[in-house]
Amino acid sequence: MSEVLLSLQLIELDKMSLHEEHEPSRLERVSQSMREDGFLRHPILATEMRDGRYLVLDGAHRIGALRLLGYCKVPVQVARQDDFSIEAWHHLVPADAGVQQLFEDPSLHWTAGSGAAAQRQGWLEIVDEHGNVRALDCGVRHDFLEAWHKVVSAYNARGAVKRVPARTCLLPDSGMLLIRFKPLSYAELERVMEAGRVLPAGVTRFQINGRLLNLKIPLHLLHRDSDVSEWERLRHVWRRSLRLYTEQVYLCEI
């Protein structure tokens, strides 16, 4: 079980690349919590790309908080590409959260449907409480990434977004809309990164077995001139303290 700690590394913050934007209010909350705690509870999850940079799979706001707080290093659990799968977060937003105006935007092309159409998977779909679907048409000439940013920014500005895993919500509650995104492959995601672009906040969701959690890594170890021997000592402490739980659990994330 302790072999998983071999994937835990201290990496220069400048080598970390984010694939999505951040949510300003969430970044402020994470920064404040980190400042008060004095430690980073969970290591960042990342995978090494072809150019030697590390693509952040989970932890964009923690990376942003570390930058704001002036740290130079980041604890990373490095995953191989065959260690994880990529899914999509879906977004639940109030029906009046600026979405309706998107249907009148001439730069966005929508098709409408209901019933069976609610089960298809386009680049992006908006579903109302009755199962009516508006699907974003991103053909060869249409930039899906630009369209995604336009849609997400319309309701993110209102600050009323709830992320839900794909397939856990088929219809939204009354007065709500469900925004469904197409999951990207790793190759598609890497092409976005190589083009110097990013996805909207909270769209991609990475599933990995064997996450390292609750290490409570002291922030003073993340300075440029930090004591490497203390990092190694903590690795021995974590090795003795790891517990692997295989049963299903229900976690209340209030």
Look-up of token digits 């995978």: 47
Sign of the CA dihedral 59, 184, 137, 89?
negative
Sign of the CA dihedral 18, 23, 28, 29?
negative
Query: Which of 202-221 are b and which e, b meaning 16 or more Cβ less than 10 Å from the residue's Cβ?
Result: bbbbbeeeeebeebebebeb
Q: Which residues are catalytic?
A: 20
Residue 220: both structure tokens together? 């003073």
Q: Look up residue 200 and give its amino acid.
A: P
∠ Cα 47 52 56 (to 5°): 30
Q: Are 105 and 150 in contact (CB under 8 A)?
A: yes
Measured distance CA(254)–CA(251) in Å, rounded? 9
